[in-house]
Each structure stands twice: as C-alpha cells, then as structure tokens.
Amino acid sequence: MLLYVRGRWHRPLPNEPLIPPGWKGVFRLVAGSTPNDEHCSMILLYKHADFESFAVNEVVEAASKLNVSKAVKLAVQTLLSAPDVVLELDNLPSQVVAASALSQHEVVRAHVKGGSVELSALDRLSPLEILRAVYARPREGFFELRSMISGETWEALRAAANLQGLTPKDAMAILRGDREKLMEVVNLLKTRALRENAQKKGFS
C-alpha cells in the first residue's frame, strides 16, 4: 500500500555512536559532510489496507454507478485512514539496506511545507539518491519519499532492521552503483522476509 519515507535528525542517545566504526566514509557520501552532534534516523510509515478495507458499501455503490471520481475519492480516504505501521531505522547499515530495497520501486519526492506539498514525477531512484533525500534538511518543511508497495516489499523493508554483515566496503559499492552487490543485498532481504513470515505462520 502507501509508504512514506522521511528523515529525522536528532541528538544521539547517551553512549550511542553517531556513526558505526568504519562507516564515516559512507556517511560523508550520503550526508555530504562529516558527522557532528546530530544523527539522522530513517522513518518508514506504512499505510496498510487490504481488499476488504475498500469493499465497503459507499465505494461499491460509487463504482457500480461508474462514478469514478467519487469512488477514487472514497478509496483515497480509506487508504489515508488506514492504520499506520512505523519502522525507524536508526542504524546507517540498515538504512543502506532499506534504500537498496526501495530502489527497486518507483517513488515520488515530496517537499512538505506547512499545508502544501510539492510533488516530483514518479521515478526510480538509486540507493544513494534515496538516502540523500532522507538526509536532506530544507530551510522550510521536510522532504519525504512516497511509494505504493506490496505487503511483501514491506516485509523486506522490516527485515532490513535485522540484516547483519553489510560492510562499509559493500555499502560504498552499492551507493556507487554496483548493480551486482545491490541485487545480492535485495535478494538476501527477500529471503530473510520469507523466512520470518514462515516462522510467524508456524512453518519453521
């Protein structure tokens, strides 16, 4: 369904390193600077709604009467009122992995200022472009990415929080456009997500 991705700069927790050992080069590539006294979290907010959420009387009636504009308006209202599922990735390696998964999908860049939003065209961004959008700090408002994704993609993004073993060298390769390394990480995420789903359903 609908995914919002944004960054949140904050002071680190006590004894929390700004950047994991060996990852300063990656941070510099993403943020365009050296670490100071702030840390950027990657916030993923997922609006989840299944088919039954839309199969309500008003939407069905509007669709049956071919009232497309009303049906779309009601469907959007249903989607926006769906429960929020939030994932906060506070670790740079996890952010790189999540950006790798997101790079497989088209997204819209949104600049939110007060009550208005400036939207870009739908585009497929590289992991580096995604992270630079997340880390951007405009003078007014904030930047976010928006995408329509499947439940399977959301599970892969959740798996990014627990994927171990990504090295700074791997991350730099991904951010510099190494397609083979990128797909290796994306496939690892898919495998991890499938395994975690199977465990939840008791098939392990």
CA 16 to mean position of chain CA atoms: 23
The CA distance from 80 to 167, in Å, is 38
Please write down the HEC assignment for all residues of 123-141. Answer: EECCHHHHHHHHHCCCCCC
- Name the DSSP class of 50: -
**Which of 56, 114, 82, 99 lies closest to 189, judged by CA?**
99
The CA distance from 25 to 11, in Å, is 20
Q: Please tell me the pTM assigned to this model.
A: 0.82
For residue 76, being part of any structural domain is answered with no
Asked if 136 and 8 count as a contact pair (C-beta separation under 8 A), the reply is no
For residue 182, being part of any structural domain is answered with yes
Distances (CA, A) of 163 to 79, 160, 191: 30, 5, 11
For residue 77, being part of any structural domain is answered with no
The CA distance from 189 to 199, in Å, is 15
- Name the DSSP class of 65: T
For residue 30, being part of any structural domain is answered with yes
The CA distance from 172 to 151, in Å, is 29
Number of domains in the chain: 1
- At residue 56 the predicted structure's pLDDT band, cuts being 50, 70 and 90, is low
- Quick check: 82 pLDDT over 70? yes
> What percent of the chain is modeled with pLDDT above 70?
86
For residue 69, being part of any structural domain is answered with no
Mean pLDDT over 34-44 rounds to: 86
For residue 67, being part of any structural domain is answered with no
Helix 92-102 × helix 24-31 angle, to 10°: 50
Mean pLDDT over 74-83 rounds to: 72
The CA distance from 73 to 68, in Å, is 8
Q: Strand, coil or helix: what is 195?
A: helix
Mean pLDDT over 115-120 rounds to: 90
CA torsion through residues 46, 118, 106, 144, sign: negative
The CA distance from 11 to 38, in Å, is 5
- Quick check: 142 pLDDT over 60? yes
In tens, the pLDDT along 153-187 reads 998 899 998 888 899 999 999 999 999 999 999 99
The CA distance from 49 to 107, in Å, is 19
For residue 70, being part of any structural domain is answered with no
For residue 75, being part of any structural domain is answered with no
Boundaries of domain holding 144: 2-48+83-200
Quick one: pLDDT at residue 186?
A: 94
- Quick check: 38 pLDDT over 50? yes
The CA distance from 121 to 53, in Å, is 28
